[in-house]
Structure 1
Amino acid sequence: MDDLQQRPMYTTPPLAPLPTIPTHPPGIVTTPAPGSTPFPATSLPPLHPPGVTVADDSFMAEADGAQDTTAPAPKSPVRNVLVRRANEEPAAEYEASEESRKAKERQEQAIQQIMLNRRAKALAVPTNDAIVRSRLRSLDQPITLFGEREMERRERLRALMAQLDANGELDRFLASTHAFGAALAEDIAAKEEERMEEVQTAPFFTEGPPALLQTRIDIMKYSLSRAASRIMRMKQKRENPDEDEDAELDYVLERMSNISMNCSQIGDDRPLSSCAFSPDGDILATSGWSGVTKLWAVDTMERTITLRGHTERVTSVVFSPTNKNLATASADRTAILWGLDGSCLKKFEGHLDRLARLAFHPSGAYLGTASFDKTWRLWDVNTGIELLLQEGHSRSVYGIAFQCDGSLVATGGLDALARVWDLRTGRSILALEGHVKPVLGLDFSPNGYHLATGGEDHTCRVWDLRKRRTLYMIPAHNSLVSQVKYEPFEGYVLATASFDNTCKIWSARDFKPMKTLVGHEGKVMGIDMTGDGQLVASVSYDRTIKIWGDKS
């Protein structure tokens, strides 16, 4: 014990700091690796924004016995990262569950829609539009929506009934509907169908002026004599051994296949709409959108007379068969009869909409006009009175043509229908159905029983009135056929004009193409042929007149 007290006491010297050993040779500056961040020399900033409370780190302090638990332990960056991750994990789980809930809702909605579609397909929905409207009204739904058609309205009712079926209310709705609404709707629909059938099938008559009866008698007498003369002439020609119809036809076809452009002339400041040769072939009349009609000398193509009288564009011009006057139709809803000296003889007023085409009766005593008011009218040329107002087309009437005997008249409408009327009785004797688009041009063959029609469906149809059907369908052009014209003397050839900028000549025997007249730079609006078939005239949207003929 004494020895221990006599021994000197030693104290532990303080630890000296370890020398710093450089990790790289002197003069070399370290560069952090690409994409890495060097550890900062200063203390790291707090990982949580001010005011955010983090979990207590006392459990870490208890594990470390060297620290005082009474003082707050310094926040370690590693522990802060762990705390932050612990706090973020519940939020990530919450976000995932929210997305899953939305996806589940979408899936349930899709399944419900599929089930509704299956129910809708199995439902019996009425096809009568009146019943469909009645049931929509009983559901407090609008009976029709803007631009909605019958099929779309029926599908809307189907969807509503499927929804009622899903809610278990369909049986009650059908019971109430059948009790009152369906019976009423069916009764209304039946009456409507009966009324429509009666309108469609029952002919109706319109009272005409007293002069109409005498007109029908005069037309009957005129047509009977003309028909007898035509039949006698055809019979004699067939029985005469000196007559070789095939040789004559071959000659005409050969001549027409050799025609070319003789001249081209600017006809107006605006597009031209129609042209017509006089019966003797010396004068050519043209009409245009400028509202004037011009007469030209065929030999020199010099303008002789300008006819002014319409306030709108002139849509058609035609010469009288007697070669005494001509008539024009206009968009101002009037037609005017002109003298060859340029004087205005008569003005025909009465149509409620613009005129499209007009034609003279073969006797020259009557004038027919076709209008966009869905009617065609017959006028007395001498008195200027309206003899007949004829309905029959469901849409605008565009074309009109008289048969060579004078007993029949044909009209073509934008309803894709051509009708043949008997002027002696006033009845529609034939409805020619075949065009799928509006009928724009018509012309009778000189043989009296063939009718050519041109339409917006790019075709020309030749009808045999004796068989009451299409004789031949010509796929004529690449665009609508604006006008058709038979050669007036024998009808050996047929000419067509089209909006594809061309005219074509066809054989009336087998309807083969003989010649394509190319030269216009715009839509060909009208075409005509001289009485002997020597010349063809065409007018176009490009404002030009072109004369075609055989130069040999």
Structure 2
Amino acid sequence: MDRFDPLDENMESLLSHESDSRDIYGTIKQCPPEHPKESAKGFTFAEVGCIQTRNSEVTCCHFSSDGKVLASAGHDKKVVLWNMDTLKTESTPEEHKLVITEVRFRPNSSQLATASFDKSVRLWDAANPGYCVKAYNSHPSPVMSLDFHPKKTDLFCFCDNDNEIRYFNLNTFSCTRISKGGMAQVRFQPRIGHFLAAASDKVVSIFDVETDRQTLTFQGHSEIVNYICWDANGEYLASVSHNLVKIWSLVTGECIQELGSGGNQFHSCVFHPNYSTLLVIGGISSLELWNMAENKSMTISAHENIISALAQSPVTGMVASASHDSSVKLWK
């Protein structure tokens, strides 16, 4: 517990967005009234916005580097782009044939990539979302996850249903390397991108990106790991299975903390953009706010179904939640 600095007792409240601006959402269906704010020690966490997609499960979401656009996707096979300034939305065409499993923005760019169960990866531009920029359609199995390198922004990688990791050059849109050990999710270490974390079955592997050598193996989950996320500095990694979330240290290679799901079921997680010792965990219909410094957690009612993905923007301090209830919500 003492590995994390405690949250500031007098930290500034995160004020909720009081005005109801849902009337400018255009054709987007309004969500039910927002959930009341939850607070502890001056810290406030409240729903500040919501979009309802067309009655289909949302599986993934991600903010652009500047925090101005939130992308989400899922079973309706298109990407919804939510402008954080105007609160208006745009969509890409339904070029994917099956569920989109992942959407990720290229760092410091309006470009984004999607992975799909239809065995393809597609590149888009949020500035011109009406058409696909590039497509890789010849993969032999469903693509489950992808991520861009934080510094070498012409490099991205994805993992598939066959436990294979492929590194891709964005300029040539061709594979440069193939590895093993990733199925559920792949995530580059933030900022420097020295390591790649990959989840497969009940194990999380850490690979050296340059040498492709597996440097660490995180074991200890009794159930399949379905979600991973790095802290902002790339020093810690959180791994989520239905019954447990674990925090791993890259320095020691050990699990330093864990939280059981109790009567809930964990599905996703993200470190809070403003408070590094606060992990936001997505459950069946609620969010768990876990203060790792004090090992205390708070449950917030959030959705009507599984919270499949979480994203955050350090620029705006916003957290986004995507759910199988067809909605995407903003929290601050």
Query: What TM-score bracket applies, with the shorter chain setting the length?
Result: 0.7 to 0.9
Whole-Å Cα distance in 2 between the matches of residues 356 and 290 of structure 1?
A: 16
| CA pair 545-429 structure 1, distance change in 2 beyond 3 A | same
Given the two structures, how large is their TM-score scaled by the length of structure 1? Answer: 0.51
Amino acid corresponding to residue 134 of structure 2 in structure 1: K
Look up the equivalent residue of 2:166 and give its one-letter code. R
User: What letter matches 1:522 in structure 2?
Assistant: N
Aligned with 1:346 (options 128, 134, 138): 134
Structure 1 residues 277 and 392, CA gap change in structure 2 (3 angstroms): closer
Tell which has more relative contact order, 1 or 2 (C-alpha 8 A, sep 6+). Answer: 2
Task: Tell me, yes or no, if the aligned pair for 1:249 and 1:492 is still in contact at 8 Å.
Answer: no
Cα distance in 2 for partners of 1:400, 1:336 equals 17
Q: Does 1:356 align with 2:144?
A: yes
CA RMSD of aligned residues (A): 2.3
Structure whose alpha-carbon radius of gyration is higher: 1
Alignment partner of 1:378 is 2:167: yes
1:407 aligned partner, one-letter code: H
The structure richer in strand per residue is: 2
Q: How does 1:190-339 map to 2 (within 5 A)?
A: 249-250=8-9, 255=14, 257-339=43-125
Aligned pair 1:407/2:194, yes or no?
yes
Change (3 A) 1:401 1:374: same
Q: Does 1:465 align with 2:250?
A: yes
- Relative to structure 1, the CA distance from residue 490 to residue 524 in structure 2 (aligned partners, 3 Å threshold; closer, same or farther) is closer
Query: What is the letter of the counterpart of residue 318 of structure 2?
Result: L
CA-to-partner distance for each residue in 1:441-492, whole Å, 9 max, x for gaps? 1111123221111113x21100012111101011145344222212356734
Q: Is the 8 A contact 1:487 1:533 kept in 2?
A: no
- Residues 274, 296 of structure 1: alpha-carbon distance in 2 compared, 3 angstrom cutoff: same
For 1:542, the equivalent position in structure 2 comes to: 325
How many residues align? The count is 298
Is it true that 1:365 corresponds to 2:154 in the alignment? yes
Structure 1 residue runs of 5 or longer lacking an equivalent are 1-244
Could you say which residue in structure 2 is the equivalent of 1:419?
A: 205
Q: Deviations over 1:305-342 (max 9, x none)?
A: 33432111111111111123111111101111111211
User: CA distance change for structure 1 residues 436 and 351 in 2, over 3 Å: closer, same or farther?
Assistant: farther
Q: Going by fraction, where is helix more abundant, 1 or 2? A: 1
Letter of the 1:502 counterpart: S
Matches within 5 A, 1:473-488: 473-476=258-261, 478-488=263-273
Amino acid at match of 2:196: V
C-alpha distance 331-412 of structure 1, shift in aligned 2 (>3 A): same
Q: Percent identity among equivalent residues?
A: 23
Contact conserved, 2:273 with 2:319, CA < 8 A, in 1?
A: no
2:307 and 2:262 mapped to 1: Cα distance? Answer: 12
Partners of 1:267 and 1:301 lie apart in 2 by 14
Q: Is the 8 A contact 1:260 1:517 kept in 2?
A: no
1:501 match: 285
User: So what's the TM-score if we normalise by structure 2?
Assistant: 0.82
Instruction: Encode CA deviations 1:278-318: one digit per residue, 9 max, x unaligned.
Output: 11112111102011111112244321333432111111111
8 Å CA contact 1:361, 1:402 repeated in 2: yes
